[in-house]
Amino acid sequence: MSPFCAQCGVPQPPADQGESFRCSSCGNIHNNGPQLLTLVAVYAEDKLLMIRRGVDPYRGKWAPPGGYVEKGESVEAAGSREVFEETGLLIEPSNLLTHGVISITALNQVHICLMAMLEKATPLRAGAPEALDAQWFSADAYPHDEVWDPFLSISVAAVYHPCRTQRLPLLQQTDNARRVVFTDVGFSHPWEKI
């Protein structure tokens, strides 16, 4: 942990590593809680969008697009941005549905999973350095041996369940357990202005 306040620069008394604290000078709250990331599952024509990762961890493996939610950004905007940066595909943030939360405490990360069901598997443009390649994979062509570790324990049937059923699954995962709630909910829902 930094011994200085990131906002005012005043040295801070030592605190237990990992704990959040309030600056004694300016009151700025230093939050050392988990980093927020998003993972985006995009389906079209019974295919899943994946990128070949260009950065560690799991460099060279196939994974869904995603990345960090930046300062002041909504999860949906981050998901849309990451998909565009890594694959060239434009998805309106409003078309991304929340479908899961994955906590990885070892990495101090929380991933919000988003999902979109598109009509057309349009051409892709991989965006280096994050993505070395970007492809649509049908279930028959799913790259079993080259998917990133978090997908190794997920069956192909489960991966393609949303296309087969046109229903949104809800995923909940912690360090050592996972459950998927299969819903009767489809992919088309209006937003309500608030």
26 touches Zn ion (CB under 5 A): yes
Question: Pick from 114, 104, 50: which is nearest to 80 by CA?
Answer: 114
Q: Which residues pair with 53 in a beta bridge?
A: 131
* Rounded least distance, CB 1 to Zn ion, Å: 14
Return all residues near 69 (Cβ < 8 A) that are at least 6 apart.
Answer: 36, 37, 38, 75, 78, 112
Query: Where does the chain have alpha helices with state H?
Result: 75-87, 156-159, 161-165
8 touches Zn ion (CB under 5 A): yes
Report the site for Zn ion in 27-56 (rule: CB under 5 A): 28
25 touches Zn ion (CB under 5 A): yes
7 touches Zn ion (CB under 5 A): yes
23 vs 110, beta carbon nearer Zn ion: 23
* Rounded least distance, CB 23 to Zn ion, Å: 3
Stretch that binds Zn ion, among 22-30, 60-68, 73-81, 120-128 (CB under 5 A): 22-30
Are 60 and 132 in contact by the 8 Å Cβ rule? The answer is: yes
* Rounded least distance, CB 84 to Zn ion, Å: 36
Q: How far apart are the first and last CA of the chain?
A: 38
Are 140 and 65 in contact by the 8 Å Cβ rule? The answer is: no
Pick from 1, 23, 77, 158 the residue near Zn ion by CB under 5 A: 23
The binding site for Zn ion (CB under 5 A) comprises: 5, 7-8, 23, 25-26, 28
